[in-house]
A and B are shown apart, each in its own frame.
Chain A
Amino acid sequence: MNIGQAFKMAISSVISNKMRSFLTMLGIIIGVAAVIIMVALVQGTTNDITSRMESMGTNLINVTLTGRYSSVNLDMDDMEKLVEGNPEYFVSVAPSINGNVTAKVGTVNENTSLLGTNQHYSTILNAEVESGRFITEQDVAGRKKVAVIGKYIANHYFEGEDPLGQSIKISGQVFTVVGVLKAKTTNISQNSQDDRIIIPYSAAQRLLRNAIIRSYSFQAASKEVAEKASEKLEELLLSLLGNENAYNVMNQAEMLETVESIMGTMSLMLGGIAGISLLVGGIGIMNIMLVSVTERTREIGIRKAIGARRASIMTQFIIESIVVSGLGGIMGIIWGMTGSYLLGKFTSIPTSVSVSIVILSAGISAGIGIFFGWYPANKASKLNPIDALRFE
């Protein structure tokens, strides 16, 4: 039979059963929307992490001390000695002590993240100041209460005033702002990379009551030696600590790979869960198509009596099923894209809708129509005309 005719009939049948069609579609709508949103979330997060990492300095090697498996405790002095002893591999090292603190300026009193480090951090991790200065060697040595603040803090806490030279209360202790960092993100929001305070690690150790530093960032001498430098570092740490579980060395390339592989797995997992809801949606379509075939047994009988071939009946029902799942797919895409957009806009979770997933879900939903419509359509096409005509 004429395909256009079949489409027309399918659409009028969908319209004449609006509520039922919508409920049937809902499974597909939710499934498709879920796939799109899930993948957009993972994709957005991946992009975000990758760009954060790429915005960090190059030639970066991160060392984490686990604090177990070894009786030896390495501190900042030991790390500096490693750098000095191997100038062909390393340029500098910056420690990191992280903590969550409350920061107060005037009436603004909010949580923010605190980082204690030294003067090298700025170059190793690309934390450039926009105004004022970064932490200096003297600040560290003198355990000075000075702070370099992120752009969000500067904007939000100081409300247009120049923060340089002003006081900020961090966990109850007064620090002086000596520098403002360049913005790292475009929308400069809370909990972003721009919402943070950097102070000398020596001051941070006291403030956070945390004497042991477990995280260090080394800068390799050049991109070319980065790989070798990270191997060398592992070798040195092994000889110092005596156990390879006592530390963890990771260079930037490895970190990127790790992130991408984790996100790939996440993508598959979330996509898989969303895929299951698509499957359930498909079964819903099959169910309603079977009901439709039964309800329309007499119609099928009449059509066969006046000369419809099997293929004509089959086409009619398959197209109806495709129309239902296809409309569901389109609505699902709209819901999914809107949902991703709203999530990205109103939460701090980044999202990025990928065109390939949209195309894929459109294809899948049409495919579901064919796949799950097949059995009912086939059943309809095989009805014996006389049995179908007698059906009341």
Chain B
Amino acid sequence: MTSALIRIENMYKIYKMGDSEVRALDGVNIEIHQNEFVSIMGPSGSGKSTLMNMIGCLDTPTSGKYYIDGIETSQMRDDQLADIRNRKIGFIFQSYNLLTKLTVLENVELPLIYMGKSRSERHRLAMQAIEKVGLSGREHHRPNQLSGGQQQRVAIARALANHPPLILADEPTGALDSKTGKEILEMIKEIHQSGNTVILITHDEQIAQTANRIIRIQDGKIFSDSEVGQA
């Protein structure tokens, strides 16, 4: 068995609001291996985004351990976490999160800049990623000159530019119509097929079925974890 790309051990995330507390994550254990395609499903407020933030090293848990590529992250400093996000994770957000003042090319180059790649290398890798998502010729457009689906493709290109092993997508089709959503979903499938590990967060049963494995979460707890097709 290959070693796990991601291992979450007994993770809690508790938000305290005055007297009451919200257990956004309530004792979660997950292991995800190299080149898996996993959907995380659950109703609104179940803790999906919270979990994604933990997996993406964007937030720190209240307690519990998190290993990515065998590295334990809970004691890490800001900059070390930034490097992990930069090298190991590609993010695809529901709201694209592109920088509106930069062009498509500049947006896609950003993670490469933070990785310290040279100018020419940056350009080459960014153009490659843009081509992969089918946006060649649009490099010098700004995000607001593109449709929602195209913007999400820019975000995908940005996520792929650094060739990170893990792609994290939080409701990537949430802001798109069903046709465009399907195209984006196809693209995510291709990314998985080309060797990436993909984690897809959604509350849509049909979209979740795209993956090979579905983790269902409710009230911060995992209540089912199964391979697709096994019922």
Chain A residues with a Cβ under 8 A of chain B: 1-2, 5, 12-13, 16, 298-299, 301-312, 382, 384-386, 389
Contact = CB atoms under 8 A, between A and B. Distances in A.
Contacts of B98: 302
Contacts of B99: 299, 302-303
Given A299-B99, A307-B85, A1 B58 contact: no
Contacts, number: 62
Interface of B: 53, 56, 58-59, 78-79, 82-83, 85-87, 91, 93, 97-99, 101, 110-111, 113-115, 158, 162
7 contacts: A305-B91, A306-B86, A306-B110, A307-B85, A307-B111, A307-B114, A385-B59
B131 to A, nearest CB: 20
Given A307-B162, A309-B78, A310-B79, 15 more contacts: A5-B113, A16-B101, A306-B85, A306-B91, A307-B87, A308-B82, A310-B78, A311-B79, A312-B114, A382-B78, A384-B59, A385-B59, A386-B58, A389-B58, A389-B97
A-B CB proximity, top 7 nearest: A307-B86, A307-B114, A386-B59, A309-B79, A386-B58, A306-B111, A309-B82
Contact of B114 (A16, A306, A384, A385): A306
A194 to B, nearest CB: 62
A272 to B, nearest CB: 41
Contacts of B110: 303, 306
Contact of A306 (B78, B79, B101, B158): B158
A155 B25 CA distance: 96
A12 B103 CA distance: 12
Contacts of A305: 56, 58, 85, 91, 97
A309 B114 contact: yes
A307 B114 CA distance: 6
Nearest to A307: B86
A307 B115 contact: yes
A385 B59 CA distance: 8
A304 B56 CA distance: 12
Contact of B83 (A2, A302, A309, A389): A309
A16 B99 CA distance: 14
A298 B93 CA distance: 13
A12 B93 CA distance: 26
Nearest to B84: A307
A1 B114 contact: yes
Contact of B101 (A2, A12, A384): A12
Nearest to A311: B79
A97 B162 CA distance: 88
A306 to B, nearest CB: 5
A349 to B, nearest CB: 47
A308 B97 contact: no
A302 B101 contact: no
Contact of B82 (A5, A307, A382): A307
A386 B91 CA distance: 13
B90 to A, nearest CB: 8
A62 B86 CA distance: 80
B169 to A, nearest CB: 13
B1 to A, nearest CB: 30
Contacts of B162: 307
Contacts of A303: 99, 110, 114
Contacts of A310: 78-79, 82
Contacts of B115: 307
B114 A308 contact: yes
